[in-house]
Every structure is written in C-alpha cells, then in structure tokens.
Copies of this chain bind each other. A is one copy, B any other.
C-alpha cells in the first residue's frame, strides 16, 4: 500500500479567492486529512507560543499617514544577488505532500508562476530535488538542512543541494528534537510517505515514522562550528534559523552566518517561548545591519509583513498560509496566496503612507501597550 492510497491528500488545482488566510486555514481543515492538518497547523504544548505569535502583532500598531503623496507602492527589494518583486519568500516547511498530492513540486510551480521570489526547500521534503525542479523551472531556491550526525552525510546533502542550484543554506538550529506536539501524539501521527533527501541517514525512508523518531536520528549538538563547517564546505551564504535571542544572533554572526533567520518554528518547538515578533526588534538591534534578517512565525496578513519590516526584518518567510493555498488549489492556490499577500501589503503601504520598502523600514510603529 503506498502513501497515496492510505493518505488522501487533496488533488484539486484552481485559483482561490483569498479573503483572509485565517479563512484559508478553516477551509483547509475540511479537505486535508486530520492527521496532516493538525501536523501542519498545530503547535507544541498548550500552543501558547503558537497563539502568542499571532497576538504579538497586536503589541504594535501601524499609523495611518495621510498626506504622504503615495500612489501604487513599490514592494520590490533585494537579498544577496536576488532582485525580488516582493519582500517575502517561501519558508522551508516539511512534507508538503500532507497538503496536496503534488507535494513540494506543486508549491514550487506556484512560486515560479508568481515569480520574483525564492523557494526554500526543506530537507524533510517529500519530493526529490528533481521533482521540485520541474515545478521551480529555474526559479531561485535556498536549501534548508537538518544535519545528520554523520559529517559525510552532511557533505553529501550539501553537494546535492548545491548541484541543484541552491544559492543559500538555511541551518535549522531550533529543532534538535521535536517539540511537544500534543496533537500529533493524540493522532499518533506518522508521515505517510518517505523523505528522499534525508532518508540516506535515517533508519527507514521516513514513511510511517514519527517526527520524534526522525528528529532523534538527526544531529542534536548544534554549535557555532556547524555554521562554520557549512559555510566553508558549501561556499554559500548560511542562515541560522530559529534565532530568538540577541545572544544567538551574535554567536551565529561570529561563526560566519551570512544571515539571521528569526523564527520560533511557528510555535512548534519550545512552547512558552515568546512570540517571534516580540523578540525581533531586540535581535535586529544586536545584528545592527551586519547581515540580513529573515523573519517567520505568525505572518498571516500584509499588516504583519509591514510590522516585521518596520521592526528590523529584511525578508519575511511565509509557511502555513502557502500550504493552505496548496491544499485548496494546488499550484494555482499557492499563486493566489502569494498574490493576496502582495495586494494586501500594497494596500497597507498606501494607507500607511509608505512608497517603498525602505520607507516601511523607517516607519514608526505605535506602542499599543503603553
């Protein structure tokens, strides 16, 4: 029996009408099998941090500016060698096949059709590099790595990612073992299909394995030397992903990180951690412009992108909302979601009196707690 027979992921391909990504989540819950939906949307523990990621946005308000002479705001920006038409990219997220039968290839096609942004490929992809490439069609991509305990395996994976055209490596450092995902425990969730990229270092293909099991077989002892190793071995810029403290940002930069990726893994790892947006400004102060900052965890609206940019982020990474689009419309749904974010961000920029992303970065936010 293959996973496609036992796990009935959606297969529909259609443009979708995005009123809000919260509504997408609600709609996706009706078409994605429960085990998969809970895995995608759930957090760890009592989901305090998951919820705090959302609530943290409310700590800062956006101020309408009304005499700013703005029209048709320009959302373009740049990171490393890439000119982007929007300041957001695809976050690395495991197992897109839970959301749609086309797996990561579907997401990749939606991204390349939208254009002007970057696909992050997760080491826990259910699709092979080749399958993803077909969808990406030459679109820029970054590769996210979960390290093996075996250094040769890591070299092997990095070689392959580089050969595939990755222009940066994302080292996920906040998931050396699985968060306390109560929904998965309750569902006795196991991946219904294999993970071709990391299966080389797993006992098993990934299929029918729990997240706990897979993480346990990955490397726990992540330290600055790992950053250095990846940077030197790959020759590519390395992001350390999962940074939530100024201390770790400084450590990462000291170890040669070319970028800081502020994230709490979407509230899926350490519950009772602060909301990711809460800690962004202080990390940005510590980074002090030395390297770019990518931000994720909790981004659901144009207002959120605006606030993250105004608090020190250079690029925003989108995760779950894109997967909900994938579930509801395949690659066309992915494209619809990206278009929604672009439209929503432009509207917010107009109403906040900001013509460019640079203007957004200098916008004053309002302290809603004072």
Residues in A lying within 8 Å of B, measured CB to CB: 19-20, 22, 45-46, 48, 57-58, 61-72, 173-174, 176-180, 182, 185-186, 220-224, 226-227, 240, 242-245, 247-248, 251-252, 255, 264, 269-274, 279, 301-303, 307, 344, 347-348, 350-352, 366, 368
Are B344 and A61 in touch, CB under 8 angstroms?
A: no
Expressed in whole angstroms, the Cα–Cα distance for A245 and B303 within the complex equals: 18
Who on chain B is nearest to A271 by CB? B303
5 contacts between A and B (CB under 8 A): A63-B245, A66-B243, A66-B244, A178-B347, A180-B302
Are A273 and B220 in touch, CB under 8 angstroms?
A: no
Expressed in whole angstroms, the Cα–Cα distance for A223 and B179 within the complex equals: 46
Who on chain B is nearest to A243 by CB? B66
Expressed in whole angstroms, the Cα–Cα distance for A66 and B69 within the complex equals: 44
When all copies of this chain in the complex are counted, the total is 4
Chain B residues whose C-beta falls within 8 Å of the C-beta of A176 in the assembled complex: 70-71, 350-351
Expressed in whole angstroms, the Cα–Cα distance for A227 and B176 within the complex equals: 47
Chain B residues whose C-beta falls within 8 Å of the C-beta of A22 in the assembled complex: 46
Expressed in whole angstroms, the Cα–Cα distance for A27 and B187 within the complex equals: 17
If over half of A's interface residues share one DSSP class (helix, strand or loop), that class is named, otherwise mixed; here it is loop
Expressed in whole angstroms, the Cα–Cα distance for A182 and B18 within the complex equals: 10
Extra pairs beyond A64-B244, A67-B240 (20, CB < 8 Å) = A19-B186, A20-B45, A57-B272, A63-B244, A63-B273, A63-B274, A64-B174, A64-B264, A64-B273, A66-B242, A67-B226, A67-B227, A67-B252, A67-B255, A71-B176, A71-B221, A176-B351, A177-B350, A179-B351, A220-B350
Expressed in whole angstroms, the Cα–Cα distance for A3 and B368 within the complex equals: 43
Who on chain B is nearest to A301 by CB? B45
Chain B residues whose C-beta falls within 8 Å of the C-beta of A307 in the assembled complex: 272
A48: contacting residue among B58, B180, B351, CB under 8 A: B58
Who on chain B is nearest to A66 by CB? B173
Expressed in whole angstroms, the Cα–Cα distance for A341 and B173 within the complex equals: 24
Taking A177-B351, A303-B272 as contacts, is the C-beta distance between A220 and B61 under 8 angstroms? Answer: no
Q: How far is the CB of A220 from chain B (nearest CB, A)?
A: 4
Are B350 and A66 in touch, CB under 8 angstroms?
A: no
Who on chain B is nearest to A149 by CB? B71
Chain B residues whose C-beta falls within 8 Å of the C-beta of A301 in the assembled complex: 45-46
Expressed in whole angstroms, the Cα–Cα distance for A186 and B22 within the complex equals: 14
Are B303 and A68 in touch, CB under 8 angstroms?
A: no
Are B222 and A67 in touch, CB under 8 angstroms?
A: yes
Chain B residues whose C-beta falls within 8 Å of the C-beta of A244 in the assembled complex: 63-64, 66
Chain B residues whose C-beta falls within 8 Å of the C-beta of A350 in the assembled complex: 176-177, 220
Taking A20-B182, A244-B63, A264-B64 as contacts, is the C-beta distance between A71 and B220 under 8 angstroms? Answer: yes
